[in-house]
């Protein structure tokens, strides 16, 4: 390399713009002779002297470089060396500060998200979150829960309560309420509040309490169950896949829901009603499978809304009474394929307004 290029590298080194490879190349050249090392020292003196000049000082760059080049026997060429000014160094410094601030803000957002007490599912599919090493929650789209402050504590409390509440529960229509004198306190909640739909899988004997956003509480250990708690339904629907689940209402009553049972709590009438086991498996959704079995069309649309986290609007006066639909959509199905299959059964116009909004009109067929 020629001497002019090494002068350029020295200038860039003083402005801290060299990469590792360039710095190693320059240091190798400087170590080859004492003259080269002296050149660096002289350049530093000149650099430090110019740093004290006022920024308003007018400099004839071409003349200055010609004088500098003649002093160090640098051959003239069209290649120019740009010596950083105080202004350019200030801009570089401000850019670095801006990048660091952006990185800190991004890190702060990431940490706040990780430490956030509220877990929401804003995706268009079910997502699973671990409460701890033995407990998982699978959230349906547009569902969320807020973590509670309870710590793990081995206890037979729920087993004892379940044994007491299980007495005299043979009524065909309603669950027998029991005033056990026990109301879970918020400091015992593993989930402080929950809304939407979720499948809970508790795999150990540690009792856990789930607060619902309407003030009712669910308790369970070693159980797997599904909860639908949508604010616009005025009901809480609980399906128990395995184990036993306790339901504490706001009146101080406790109900036990056994394995294989469905319970529907009317939040207006304050009653927990036994319901027939649904023909459609209420647990498949959290595995990504959507099933319709002679399902009324309006319910099918609602199931699609909650399964994919979308809004489906019928924009005209289309009659959907007495229209039922049967199908099973596997895990790989998307919203468009589901809508097209329904359209194959009932003629209709479908408009995807955007990712989350669907308009339907002109529904026909029997």
Considering the chain, what is the average pLDDT of its residues?
77
109 occurs within a structural domain: no
pLDDT in tens, 223-258: 999 999 998 888 999 999 998 898 988 888 888 888
pLDDT at 57: 46
By the 8 A CB rule, do 199 and 217 touch?
Answer: no
CATH of the domain at 356: 3.55.50.30
What totals of helices (H) and strands (E) does the chain contain, helices first?
8, 18
pLDDT in tens, 34-69: 777 777 777 776 666 655 544 444 455 555 556 555
Q: Which of 126-135, 173-182, 279-288 has the lowest mean pLDDT?
A: 173-182
Domain end call among 275, 298, 314: 275
For residues 199 and 242, state if they share a domain: yes
For residues 144 and 263, state if they share a domain: yes
107 occurs within a structural domain: no
Q: Which of 91-95, 130-134, 258-262, 305-309 has the lowest mean pLDDT?
A: 91-95
pLDDT at 270 over 80: yes
Domain count, the chain: 3
By the 8 A CB rule, do 219 and 190 touch?
Answer: no
pLDDT at 131: 81
pLDDT at 137 over 90: yes
What range does the domain containing 71 cover? 3-84
pLDDT in tens, 13-30: 766 666 777 777 777 777
By the 8 A CB rule, do 212 and 192 touch?
Answer: no
Q: How many CA atoms lie within 13 A of 29 on its CB side?
A: 19
105 occurs within a structural domain: no
For residues 144 and 245, state if they share a domain: yes
């Amino acid at each position: 390399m020629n001497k002019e290029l090494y002068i350029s590298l020295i200038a860039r080194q003083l402005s801290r713009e060299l990469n590792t490879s360039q710095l190693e190349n320059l240091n190798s050249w400087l170590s080859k002779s004492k003259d080269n090392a002296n050149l660096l020292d002289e350049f530093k003196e000149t650099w430090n002297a110019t740093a004290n000049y006022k920024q308003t000082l007018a400099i004839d760059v071409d003349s200055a470089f010609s004088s500098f080049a003649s002093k160090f026997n640098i051959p003239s060429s069209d290649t120019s060396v740009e010596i950083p000014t105080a202004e350019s160094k200030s801009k570089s410094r401000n850019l670095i500060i801006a990048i660091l601030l952006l990185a800190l803000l991004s890190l702060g957002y990431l940490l706040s998200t990780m430490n956030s007490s509220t877990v929401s599912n804003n995706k268009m599919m079910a997502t699973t979150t671990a409460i701890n090493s033995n407990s998982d929650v699978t959230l349906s789209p547009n569902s969320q829960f807020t973590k509670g402050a309870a710590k793990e504590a081995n206890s037979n409390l729920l087993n004892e309560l379940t044994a007491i509440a299980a007495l005299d529960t043979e009524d065909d229509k309603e669950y027998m309420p029991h005033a056990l004198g026990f109301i879970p306190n918020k400091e015992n909640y593993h989930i402080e509040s929950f809304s939407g739909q979720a499948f809970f899988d508790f795999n150990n004997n540690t009792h856990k309490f789930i607060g619902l956003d309407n003030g009712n509480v669910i308790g369970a250990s070693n159980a797997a169950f599904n909860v639908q708690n949508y604010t616009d339904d005025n009901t809480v629907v609980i399906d128990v896949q395995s184990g036993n689940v306790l339901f504490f209402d706001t009146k101080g009553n406790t109900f036990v829901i056994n394995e294989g049972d469905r319970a529907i709590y009317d939040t207006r009438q304050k009653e927990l009603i036994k319901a027939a086991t649904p023909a459609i498996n209420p647990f498949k959704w959290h595995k990504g499978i959507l099933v319709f079995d002679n399902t009324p069309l309006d319910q099918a649309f609602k199931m699609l809304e909650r399964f994919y986290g979308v809004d489906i609007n019928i924009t005209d006066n289309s009659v959907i009474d007495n229209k039922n639909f049967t199908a099973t959509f596997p895990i790989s199905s998307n919203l468009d394929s589901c809508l097209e299959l329904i359209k194959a059964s009932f003629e209709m116009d479908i408009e995807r307004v955007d990712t989350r909004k669907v308009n339907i009109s002109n529904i026909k067929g029997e």
